[in-house]
Structure 1
Amino acid sequence: MPRLLPREGALPATLTLQQALEEAEARSPVIIAARAAVQAAEARISQAGYRANPELSVEVENFAGSGELSGFKGTETTVAVSQRLDMGGRRSARIGVAKAELAVQQLRLAIARANLARDVRAQFAAAASARDRLQLAIENEERARDLARIAGELVDAGREPPLRALRARTAAAQAVAELEAARAEERAARAVLASLFGVSTPPDSVTGALLDLQPRTIDPAQSLDVRLADTERLRAEATLRQEQVARRLDPAVGLGIRHIRETGDVALVGGLSMPIPAFDRNRGNIEAAEADVRAAEANRAGALASASVRTRNAIGNVEAAAARVKALEHAAVPEAAEALRLARLSYQAGKASLLELLDAQDAYAAAQTALIEARTAEALATAELGRVSAQ
């Protein structure tokens, strides 16, 4: 069985969402562990198919006695091989449990992949959001610095009171502080993204679209969580069958050769043994397995209810986020940009005050920030929808 090893080496300097998903699949310790669990389950199926090993016995009788049986003169030696027969279906029951466990581990691997893809999409969106916030902070700092310079020149020319220049310098200082915070946030977001791949060195930047999924019809009953609950119920039922079979009595038969030293004769011997269920009838294990079946059935009902709610919420969140992005892109941000342009022209012409220009800049920054948040929310909602719809 091949050993599973994560991909090594540095991440691409500039990472797209598709690259991030592919790198996570190849590097994530969570996926490696889930794949190893599948391999272990496959090996257990092979092991479950083996029959019980035969037993070799050697029996020496009538030695070191008295009279004619003193020493080894009357020794009888029997060499026999016995085999326990699988007449109660133990082997098939073991195989059934092993196959059910493999199905569970395969679904857990699929869930691990779906969870990882959701987390990568969400953290990629967070990194892209931090990148956009950083770019916005850079632009805000440049505008604030330029405005402070213009305000200083107007104060020197006697067109503005000194208080206005102080106000502009304060806004510029705040913009610098926000820029440094945005830089730290952007670095942290890339580091968290890299941690999903099991590496400590993040990519230099992220680029490209945030959305890679198309809306699709979702049947909650076919979701991974419900399918896992179904498979766990089948495993519980297989375990119950195994425990029921375990109380059945399997005989053991043996065949051997007996040598009588005194006469030199040789003869065959045969035997049959059967356990007596005087004390242990496996009742406790059967009752426990029956309870596990009932628990699995209840878990399945809960998983279906949860999947139905998550599906409705995910679809609603995606639709609401997409509508907000559209409104901001087509109305709020363009209007705020135009208002800022006019305010800047009016201020330069002496028709608007510095406070009006600062308000226009704040409104434009707020609109841009809202658009970044809306795009991030849409990406997060889409990531959750992808997780819910994974099959």
Structure 2
Amino acid sequence: MGTEAAGPPAPETAYEPLASVRTGPLPPSLSLADALSEGLARSQAIIAAEADVRAARGRLRQAGYRANPELSLEVENVLGTGELAGLRAMETTLSVNQRLDLAGRRGARVRFAQAELIVQQLRLAIVQADLQFTVREQFARAVAAREKLAQASDTVARARELSRVAGVLVEVGRDPPLRAIRARSALAQAVADEEAARAEDLAARSLLAAALGSSRAIAFVEGDMSLPPPSVVGSPLELRLADAERASAEASLAIELTANRLDPAVGLGVRHIRETGDIGLVGGVSIPLPVFDRNRGGISAARAALEGAEARRAGAEIAADARARNARGAVDANLRRVEALEQSAIPEAAEALRLAELSYREGRATLLELLDTQESYTAARAALTDARLALALAQAELARAVATGDTES
């Protein structure tokens, strides 16, 4: 009989209660770091994945235990005939039997449970990475909507001033009344665009709040859309998960193979003979005979599952490489676009607008020329915001594509 009667040492607490989900209203103002922290603390999906990890830890602990010994009591030579009548010749045997587990079932169970724990830990990391990607995406959209609203407000202010100047010029007889009407029309259009931008800003803040588990829109988002470049220090999460699932399938096959091996049990007992009052020791060995059930179906199923895991691993490697490569390409392309707008298009459009406004006040440019210049400047600013948003989304995609889970919250 083996000397180890119990499994591995128990953890400090046999059961870890579910972590509580943060509730209540969100802070009125959020930075990206705040949004990521709130998302991780409020996610029911993360709570569920953490519970799966704890369950896997419990199964690992359970897998380390040996089979319990069996206590048996046998009574012989009772209520028979002749010399065996009554209880005079009764023999009583009390014995303890223990399965030796020489076939390696316990070790195979432990290895499988360890592999499953790694699988659940990686699935938790994937849930966290997916949530962070969603929060980064929605935060970037909220910042872009905030910037477009600010741009729309600036356009309204310029259009209002232009309408005032046009009215003055009409009064002094420099411009015909049609010019003032055209300026007021441009102001009305700018006001309408501002209202649309305000609605988009509210919708973006509401979507960000929804991603954080709240139904009330966030009042304000702080910071910009850019993200630091991710540091690649290992295999992407999906590839690591595929490796872990393959290891789990291999461990499952090992379990099925051990089920076909002989697993003896030994017993030791004490026999009491009533007629003489004598006591003696008895011992025995039992071995199951794999005559009918050789677990061929279980072994075949486990081998097929392993083949499937290997195929999924190969596909995961291709997909992970393509996703990271495409994300890097998108980041590079949008970074060049942002730099071109910031360094050339925006300064030139701003200078053209300044000169057009000056020329209009001095009578050297028409109102239509000034309006066209204003529209070009507004379009350039909107294009820069769109480019920054595209860059932020590409950066978030790249961070998700190369996420390893090693530094995830």
The reply to whether TM is greater than 0.5 is yes
| CA offsets 1:201-239 (integer angstroms, 9 cap, x no match) | 4432111233332365x58x7222222212211111111
Query: Is 1:119 equivalent to 2:115 in the alignment?
Result: no
Q: Which residue does 1:336 correspond to in 2?
A: 349
Amino acid at match of 2:345: A
Amino acid at match of 2:162: L
From 40, 64, 70, the counterpart of 1:55: 70
Query: Is 1:224 equivalent to 2:263 in the alignment?
Result: no
Q: Which residue does 2:148 correspond to in 1?
A: 133
- Give the 3 Å change call, closer, same or farther, for CA 62–123 of structure 1 in structure 2: same
**Does the residue aligned with 1:180 lie in a helix, a strand or coil?**
helix
Q: Which residue does 2:4 correspond to in 1?
A: none
Q: Which residue does 1:294 correspond to in 2?
A: 307
Q: Which residue does 1:198 correspond to in 2?
A: 213
Q: Which residue does 2:39 correspond to in 1?
A: 24
Equivalent residues of 2:341, 2:384 under 8 A apart: yes
Amino acid at match of 1:214: P
**Does the residue aligned with 1:37 lie in a helix, a strand or coil?**
helix
Q: Which residue does 1:369 correspond to in 2?
A: 382
Q: Which residue does 2:6 correspond to in 1?
A: none
| CA offsets 1:252-295 (integer angstroms, 9 cap, x no match) | 22223334445444433333322222222111111111112211
TM-superposed deviation, 1:327: 0.8
Mapping of 1:1-391 within 5 angstroms? 1-3=15-17, 4-64=19-79, 72=87, 74-214=89-229, 216=231, 218=232, 222-391=235-404
Equivalent residues of 2:226, 2:388 under 8 A apart: no
5+ residue gaps in structure 2? 1-14, 405-409
Amino acid at match of 2:214: V
**Does the residue aligned with 1:140 lie in a helix, a strand or coil?**
helix
- Give the 3 Å change call, closer, same or farther, for CA 200–73 of structure 1 in structure 2: farther
Q: Which residue does 2:7 correspond to in 1?
A: none
| Distance in 2 of aligned mates of 1:78 and 1:102 | 44
Which range is displaced more, 62-71 or 378-387? 62-71
**Does the residue aligned with 1:128 lie in a helix, a strand or coil?**
helix
| CA offsets 1:141-171 (integer angstroms, 9 cap, x no match) | 2223333344444445554444444433333
**Does the residue aligned with 1:222 lie in a helix, a strand or coil?**
coil
Indicate the RMSD between aligned Cα atoms, in angstroms: 2.5
| Distance in 2 of aligned mates of 1:182 and 1:63 | 96
- Give the 3 Å change call, closer, same or farther, for CA 67–149 of structure 1 in structure 2: farther
Aligned residues: 389
Amino acid at match of 1:337: A
TM-score, scaled to structure 1 = 0.90
TM-score, scaled to structure 2 = 0.86
TM-superposed deviation, 1:337: 1.5
Amino acid at match of 1:39: R
Equivalent residues of 1:314, 1:381 under 8 A apart: yes
TM-superposed deviation, 1:138: 1.3
Amino acid at match of 1:339: A
**Does the residue aligned with 2:227 lie in a helix, a strand or coil?**
coil
Amino acid at match of 1:17: L
| CA offsets 1:38-57 (integer angstroms, 9 cap, x no match) | 22222221111001111222
Equivalent residues of 2:16, 2:54 under 8 A apart: no
| Distance in 2 of aligned mates of 1:57 and 1:75 | 16
**Does the residue aligned with 2:57 lie in a helix, a strand or coil?**
helix
